[in-house]
Copies of this chain bind each other. A is one copy, B any other.
Amino acid sequence: MNRKKEAEKVSNTISNDLVLLTIPMRRDMELAAAQLASVIAESMSFYEQQVEEIQMATIEACINAFEHSKSPDQQVFTKFIMRSDELEIKITDQGVGFSHDNRAQQRNNKPDIHPEMRKRGWGLEIIHALMDSVNISSNNNGTTISMVKCKNETDQEDGQE
């Protein structure tokens, strides 16, 4: 009925279960994604601790895009997909991408005194630890990290408050 308007916006294939966010790579904008993730997770009745885990993983995925993607459009696109039993968050940049081999070396940080307590290179590990399944697809057109948090993850139950 209103094709022109639709063309200007996001296509109307979007369902009742989807939230889309576009943020600029700019100070504090990872908090925008994290706070949005928090409202969505709360509205799905995730436990408080799960909400915090989702927020922290979202922050790490966003700052990776900010820090490493070198994306020319300087934007991060986030898709929140609400399912009955899980929340999927897909965070995309249109940057240079990476593979396991070409990950950046530690930048000019102070040297690590205790190798096991290294200072950088934790972001992806944190995301893997806090979310239930993580999938990264990256090539020289950009990176998408897809992270899923399940509502009834069994090894979490004793950790709930």
Q: How many copies does the complex hold?
A: 2
- A9-34 interface code vs B (CB 8 A; 1 in, 0 out): 11010111111111111111101100
Which residues, 1 to 56 on A, are CB-close (under 8 Å) to B? 1-2, 5-6, 9-10, 12, 14-29, 31-32, 35-36, 38-40, 42-43
Interface of A is mostly: mixed
Cβ of A101: which chain B residues have Cβ within 8 Å of it? Answer: none
Cβ of A94: which chain B residues have Cβ within 8 Å of it? Answer: 1-2, 5-6, 9, 12
Q: A73 at interface (Cβ–Cβ under 8 A)?
A: yes
Q: Are B26 and A16 in contact (CB under 8 A)?
A: yes
Interface residues of A (CB under 8 A from B): 1-2, 5-6, 9-10, 12, 14-29, 31-32, 35-36, 38-40, 42-43, 72-75, 77, 92, 94, 141-142
A2-B142, A6-B94, A27-B43 known; 7 new pairs, CB 8 Å cut-off, are A1-B72, A9-B77, A12-B73, A12-B75, A14-B73, A20-B22, A31-B39
